[in-house]
């Protein structure tokens, strides 16, 4: 049972470089999310997709773009990375909207360092 799979697990970038974090889920979930987790800040929502074909901004969307490629896949792109984007990024999915059930399934995280 793969669940939510994120790639890459680790990445080091230089300031100004771009990259895409990939996320795929095999649970036939409708909603998908990208969070970042920083020490002392908790989990903060970057973008989410309530269903295939829709995306919405979360708390901290600046500097990021997303694509809901199909029902399974939701990617996060950093167009011009900045040191402030050094963080651990988590993708999550849920069958219903997260606030309805609260039961999100998380990937194992992608650790990004921007030098």
Q: Which residues bind other proteins (CB under 8 A)?
A: 4, 31, 33, 40-45, 48, 50, 56, 58, 90, 92, 97-109
User: Is the CB of 64 or the CB of 90 nearer to other proteins?
Assistant: 90
User: Is the CB of 73 or the CB of 106 nearer to other proteins?
Assistant: 106
Residue length, the chain? 115
Taking the complex as a whole, the smallest distance from the CB of residue 92 to other proteins amounts, in Å, to 7
Asked if residue 16 lies in contact with residue 80, where contact means CB atoms within 8 angstroms, the answer is yes
- For the beta carbon of residue 38, count every other beta carbon within 10 angstroms: 13
Taking the complex as a whole, the smallest distance from the CB of residue 20 to other proteins amounts, in Å, to 19
Taking the complex as a whole, the smallest distance from the CB of residue 41 to other proteins amounts, in Å, to 7
Spell out the residues 6+ positions from residue 23 whose beta carbon is closer than 8 angstroms to its own.
4, 5, 6, 32, 34, 73, 74, 75, 76, 91, 107
User: Is the CB of 54 or the CB of 84 nearer to other proteins?
Assistant: 54
């Amino acid at each position: 049972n793969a669940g939510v799979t994120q790639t890459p697990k680790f990445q080091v970038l230089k300031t100004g470089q771009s990259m895409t974090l990939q996320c795929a889920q095999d649970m036939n979930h409708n909603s998908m999310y990208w969070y970042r987790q920083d020490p002392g800040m908790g989990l903060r929502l970057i973008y989410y997709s309530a269903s295939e074909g829709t995306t919405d901004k979360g708390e901290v969307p600046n500097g990021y773009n997303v694509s809901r490629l199909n029902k399974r896949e939701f990617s996060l792109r950093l167009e011009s990375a900045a040191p402030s984007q050094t963080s651990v990024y988590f993708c999550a999915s849920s069958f219903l909207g997260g606030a309805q059930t609260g039961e999100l399934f998380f990937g194992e995280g992608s650790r990004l360092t921007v030098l």
